[in-house]
Amino acid sequence: MKRLLWLALLGSLLMSFACTKPAAVAGRYVCDRDRMPKDTLDLDARGGFTLQEDGATLTGTYTLNGHSLTLELPGRSVPPFRLEGAVLVDQAGGRWTKQ
């Protein structure tokens, strides 16, 4: 019984952290690559995203785990971004700066 209560408490704490993390990174990020129009990534506070890249629009959810941000698309794997302050760095070295 104690173990079950401990797991419930731990689960509540993890959920509270998971709910607050997306708000910390929410906003618009613009890629530094030389493209016009610039690629953008909009992260909302509820864990959803909209990516405008190469003229295509993709939407889905994201998760933040420490300094790793992963975009989740149905049936598609996207390499995680590395969070460096107000900058996201993609696997190709592109820097996405928060506006």
How do the domains of the chain map onto residue ranges?
A: 2-98
DSSP letter for 47, please.
S
pLDDT tens digits, one per residue of 1-50 = 444 434 333 344 344 444 446 778 999 999 998 888 899 999 999 999 99
Q: State the first-to-last Cα distance of the chain, in angstroms, to the nearest integer.
A: 49
Query: Dihedral of the CA atoms 64, 89, 99, 37 (nearest 10)?
Result: -120
| CATH (residue range 2-98) | 2.40.128
pLDDT tens digits, one per residue of 49-92 = 999 998 899 999 999 999 999 999 988 878 999 999 999 999 99
Stated pTM of the model: 0.75
Question: Which helix (DSSP H) or strand (DSSP E) does residue 7 occupy?
Answer: helix 2-25
Which residues, 6 or more positions from 21, have their beta carbon under 8 angstroms from its beta carbon? Answer: 64
Q: Which residues pair with 51 in a beta bridge?
A: 41, 58
Q: Residue 76 has what pLDDT?
A: 85
